[in-house]
A and B are shown apart, each in its own frame.
Chain A
Amino acid sequence: MIDSVDTAKKNPDTSQPWAELGLKQDEYESIKQILGRRPTSSELAMYSVMWSEHCSYKSSKVHLRQFADKAPKTDALLVGIGENAGVVDIGAGWAVTFKVESHNHPSYVEPYQGAATGVGGIVRDIISMGARPIAVMDPLRFGPADAPDTRRVLPGVVAGIGGYGNCLGLPNIGGELVFDESYAGNPLVNALCIGSMKHEDIHLASAKGVGNLVVLYGARTGGDGIGGVSVLASETFDADGPAKRPSVQVGDPFMEKLLIEATLEVLHAGLVEGIQDLGGAGISCATSELASNGEGGMHVYLDRVPLRDASLSPEEILMSESQERMCAVVTPEKIDKFMALCKKWDVEAVVIGEVTDTGRLVIEWHGEMIVDVPPRSVAHDGPVYERPFHRPSWQDTLQADAPTPERLPRPSTPEGIKQTLMDLIASPNLASKSWVTSQYDRYVMGNTVLAQPEDAGMIRIDEETGLGVAISTDCNSRFAKLDPYAGAQLALVESYRNISVAGAKPLAVTNCLNFGSPEDPEVMWQFSQATTGLADACRELGIPVTGGNVSFYNQTGDTAINPTPVVGVLGVIDDVDRRTPMAWDEDGDLIYILGETFDEFAGSEWAHLQGHLGGLPPKVNFSMERLLSEIMVAASRDGMITAAHDVSDGGVGVAITEMALRANKGARFWIPDNIDPFVFLFSESTARAIAVIARTEELRFTEMCAARGMSATRFGVVDSGLGADSGYPGEQVIVVDSLFTFTLEALREANEATLPALFGG
Chain B
Amino acid sequence: MSARIGVVTFPGSLDDADAARAIRIAGATPVALWHGDANLQNVDAVVLPGGFSYGDYLRCGAIAKFAPVMSLIIEKAQAGLPVLGICNGFQILCESHLLPGALTRNDHQHFICVDQKLQIESNETLWTRDFVPGQQIVIPLKNGEGGYVASEATLDELFSENRVVATYVGNNPNGSYRNIAGISNKAGNVVGLMPHPEHAVEALTGPSTDGIPFFTSVLKSLVGAT
Contacting residues, chain A, for B110 (C-beta < 8 A): 159, 438-439
Q: Are B55 and A446 closer than 8 Å at their CB atoms?
A: no
Q: Which candidate, B10-18, B158-166, B178-186, is the interface stretch facing chain A? A: B10-18
Residue in A closest to B54 when the chains form the complex, CB atoms:
A254
A460 at the interface (CB under 8 A from B): yes
A166 at interface, CB cutoff 8 A: yes
The digit string for B24-59, where 1 denotes a CB below 8 A from any CB of A, is 000000000000000000000000001110111100
User: B179: shortest Cβ distance to chain A, in Å?
Assistant: 18
Task: Pick the 6 closest A-B CB pairs, nearest first.
Answer: A254-B55, A169-B14, A443-B199, A446-B18, A443-B140, A167-B52
Residues in B neighbouring A460, C-beta threshold 8 A: 204-205
B121 at the interface (CB under 8 A from A): no
A166 to B202, CA, bound (A): 22
The verdict on A257 contacting chain B, using a C-beta distance below 8 Å, is yes
Contact A442 B113 (CB under 8 A): yes
Chain B contributes a number of interface residues (CB within 8 A of A) equal to 31
Is the CB–CB distance between B12 and A254 below 8 Å? yes
Contact of B114 among A254, A257, A438, A448 (CB under 8 A): A438
Task: Report the Cα distance A255→B54, complex, angstroms.
Answer: 9
Counting residue pairs across A and B whose Cβ atoms lie within 8 Å, the total is 84
* A307 at interface by CB-CB < 8 Å: no
* Proximity string of chain A (451-469) to chain B, C-beta cutoff 8 Å, 1 when within and 0 when not: 0000000001001000000
A257 touches which of B11, B111, B196, B202 (Cβ 8 Å): B11
B86 CB → nearest A CB, Å: 12
A552 at the interface (CB under 8 A from B): no
Q: Which residues of A are in contact with B by a Cβ distance under 8 Å?
A: 159, 162-163, 166-169, 252-255, 257-258, 345-346, 437-449, 460, 463, 576-577, 761
Contact: B204 with A167, CB < 8 Å? no
Give bound CA distance, A761 to B110, whole Å: 9
Distance (Å) between the CB of B173 and the closest chain A CB? Answer: 10
Shortest distance from the beta carbon of A252 to any chain B beta carbon, whole Å = 7
Does B117 have its Cβ within 8 Å of any Cβ on chain A? no
- Answer whether A446 and B54 are a contact pair too, CB < 8 Å, given A159-B110, A162-B111, A460-B205: no
Residues of chain B contacted by A166 (CB below 8 angstroms): 111, 142, 144
- Judging by beta carbons under 8 Å apart, are A438 and B52 in contact? no
Q: Is B206 at the interface (CB under 8 A from chain A)? A: yes
26 contacts between A and B (CB under 8 A): A159-B110, A162-B111, A166-B111, A166-B144, A168-B14, A169-B15, A253-B55, A254-B11, A258-B12, A437-B113, A438-B114, A439-B110, A439-B111, A441-B111, A443-B18, A444-B15, A444-B50, A445-B18, A446-B17, A446-B18, A446-B21, A446-B201, A446-B206, A449-B204, A460-B205, A577-B204
Indicate the member of A168, A258, A446, A463 with the most B CB atoms within 10 Å.
A446
Instruction: Give the Cβ gap from B16 to chain A, nearest Cβ, in Å.
Output: 9
Which residue of the partner chain A has the closest CB to B144?
A: A166
Is B204 in contact with A576, judged by CB distance below 8 angstroms? yes
B124 on interface, CB distance cutoff 8 Å: no
Known interface pairs A163-B111, A254-B52, A576-B204; A443-B11 also in contact (CB < 8 Å): no
A441/B205 in contact, CB under 8 A: no
Cα distance, A511 to B23, chains bound together (Å): 40
Q: Which residues of B contact A441 (CB under 8 A)?
A: 111, 113, 142
* CA gap between A439 and B110 in the complex, in Å: 7
Q: How far is the CB of B146 from chain A (nearest CB, A)?
A: 13
Contacts of B50 in A (CB 8 A): 444
* Cα distance A577–B201 in the bound complex, in angstroms: 15
Across the two chains, which residue of chain A brings its CB closest to B55? A254
CB contacts (< 8 Å) of B198 on chain A: these are 446
C-alpha spacing A691/B18, complex, angstroms: 33
Residue of A nearest to B50 (CB): A444
Q: Is the CB of A439 within 8 A of B17?
A: no
Distance of A577 Cα from B204 Cα, bound (Å): 7
Select from chain A the residue with minimum beta-carbon distance to B53: A254
Instruction: Please judge, given known A-B contacts A252-B55, A443-B196, whether A438 and B205 are in contact too, CB under 8 Å.
Output: no
Q: A254-B54, A460-B205 are in contact. Are A446 and B112 (CB under 8 A)?
A: no
Provide the residues of chain B in CB contact with A169, threshold 8 Å: 14-15, 51
Q: A254-B12, A576-B204, A761-B108 are in contact. Are A444 and B114 (CB under 8 A)?
A: no
User: Which residues of B sit under 8 angstroms from A443, Cβ to Cβ?
Assistant: 18, 113, 140, 142, 196, 199, 205-206
Interface centre among A254, A439, A442, A576 (most CB of B within 10 A): A254
Complex Cα spacing A167 to B53, Å:
10
Chain A nearest CB, measured from B61 CB (Å) = 14
Q: Are B205 and A446 in contact (CB under 8 A)?
A: yes
Given A166-B111, A444-B15, 8 more pairs with CB closer than 8 A:
A166-B144, A169-B14, A257-B52, A437-B113, A441-B111, A443-B205, A448-B205, A576-B204
Is B12 a contact partner of A257 (Cβ separation < 8 A)?
Answer: yes
A447: chain B residues within 8 A (beta carbon): 205
Q: When chains A and B are docked, how far (Å) is the Cα of A449 from the Cα of B202?
A: 10
B202: chain A residues at CB < 8 Å are 446
For the complex formed, measure the closest distance between the CB of B80 and the CB atoms of chain A, giving whole angstroms. 30
Q: Which of A162, A167, A446 contacts B12 (CB 8 A)?
A: A167
Q: Is the CB of A446 within 8 A of B199?
A: yes
CB of B13, distance to nearest CB on chain A (Å): 8
Q: How far is the CB of B21 from chain A (nearest CB, A)?
A: 6
CB-defined contacts of A257 to chain B, threshold 8 Å = 11-12, 14, 52
Of B14, B113, B202, B204, most buried by chain A (CB within 10 Å of CB) is B113
By the criterion CB–CB under 8 Å, are B55 and A167 in contact? Answer: yes
Cα A437 to Cα B206 with chains together (Å): 16
Nearest opposing residue in chain B for A252, CB measure: B55
Give complex CA distance A252, B57 in Å: 10
Q: Which of chain A's residues has its CB closest to B19's CB?
A: A446
- Give the shortest distance, in Å, between A386 (CB) and chain B (any CB): 47
- Closest chain-B Cβ to A708's Cβ sits at a distance in Å of 30
Instruction: Give B200's nearest chain A residue, CB to CB.
Output: A443
Chain A contacts for B21, CB-based, 8 A = 446, 463
Cα distance A393–B201 in the bound complex, in angstroms: 60
